[in-house]
Amino acid sequence: MDSEDNISNHEMISTLKSELAALQFKRDRLMSELQDTKGQLRTRDQRTVELEAETEMLKEQQVRQNSIIASLRNRIKELEDQERSLTTSLGRADMSSESLARENRHQADRCSELERKIDLLELNCTKAENARDSARRSMSEFVSRASMALGYESLNSDSPAAVDVVLSKASEMHQELNRLRRKNISASENLTSIEVELRNCREQLERALADKENLQRQAAGHILEIDKLKQEKEHLEMQQRVMERDLSELRDKLMATNRSLGVASSNIASQEATIFTLRNDLRGHDERCQKMQIDMQHFLESLAVCLTSADGYVQSTESGVKDAVKRLVNELATKSTLHGESKDRIISLTDRVERLQIDQDRLASENRVLTDEKRNLETRLNHTENELNVCEMTKEHLRNDKTIFVTFLDKLSRAMHMDQIAKDVGVD
């Protein structure tokens, strides 16, 4: 009986040693796999951080491009408003200059006509003055001759013929005098009317000269305005060249964003491949955990079978195995008086069983840690999938912005008659 117990104890110890070695080997393998998964997780975390940084850079580039596009649109609107105002002002200036030229020609013709009228009036005035002078001279001569002719010293007052001659001569002289007076009055009236017309002509001439000076000043002002408009046109042409340089820089920036989008798409594809490998690794890790649990159950069942005796059946649970081990320890303690040599072996067996229990507890804790890490990996996987979705959405948004910007550049090129703006932008 003692020999059979010793044999069973030796077999139990050998089986426990083999199971313990297998468990240690599995533990080492699981620890190495855990370190590998941790290293892979670190690399995945680094890649996710790099992808987040790239997405932030892409977002910043998008914000800068949106601000540049908005500023360009505002500047284009301002330039269009300035161009419209300049075209309207140039049209008004041309119309005003044409009207001023017509008025200037009209005033020049009017001045020439007034000068001709003034010359005619001056000739008439000189003729009237000459006629008046000749009438005055003839009147003075007539008066002197009449006084000489009608001198009372030479006449004979007694002769009626002389009186009749004198009366006839006096009446003739009186009629001639009245006629000359009427002629003088009409000549003086003509002279006053001619003087009034002369003053009116002089006033009209002065007004025409003043209008001519005003028109000349207005023409000089319009010439200055035309010079200013030419300078503003040159300034606008310079601004247009600056805008063309800005548009070329924008094309370069857009090409750089296209290249960065290509790099981001390649990085996203590589990250999707790494996520697929992570999923496969997680599946393998789950399978290994299930295998380890099955091995643990088989180990407990084998221990229960080994510890089962004629006294009772041992359940394949931790508590049943512990109870069976305790019963075995008690039985070995009762037989220690008879088996001194097996006492040390039983003590070592109990120590190994305790270490095995400790290893089992450690394996259970490692199993829990592995399950926690599995949950963490699943959460990280979900987080990376969400980030990938966000990256895809930002990529689509950037593509839409790119199409909108390309259409805007096409419209701008058609509006500004520049066909080479949107040809060098690039395609997805």
Query: What are the tens digits of pLDDT across the range 389-404?
Result: 777 787 787 778 778 8
Report whether pLDDT(122) > 60. yes
Mean pLDDT of 59-67: 78
Amino acid at 88: T
Residue 197 predicted with pLDDT over 60: yes
Q: What is the CA radius of gyration of the chain?
A: 65
User: How many residues are listed for the chain in this entry?
Assistant: 428
> Going by C-beta distance under 8 Å and a sequence separation of 6 or more, which residues neighbour residue 96?
222
Please list, in sequence order, all residues whose beta carbon lies within 8 angstroms of the beta carbon of residue 243, skipping any fewer than 6 positions away.
Answer: 72, 75, 76, 79
**DSSP character string of 212-228:** HHHHHHHHHHHHHHHHH
The domain limits of the chain are 7-134, 317-412
Assign 240 a pLDDT band (cuts: 50, 70, 90): confident
The first and second tokens of residue 348, run together, are 């070592």
Angle between helices 318-334 and 340-416 (to 10 degrees): 160
Q: What is the C-alpha to C-alpha distance for residues 54 and 62, in angstroms, rounded to an integer?
A: 12
CB 267 within 8 A of CB 51: yes
At 39, is the pLDDT very low, low, confident or very high (cuts 50, 70, 90)? confident
CA distance 376 to 261: 30
What pTM value is reported for the model?
0.26
Return the closest-CA partner of residue 210 out of 218, 199, 220, 221.
Answer: 218
- For residue 334 the two structure tokens come to 């009762």
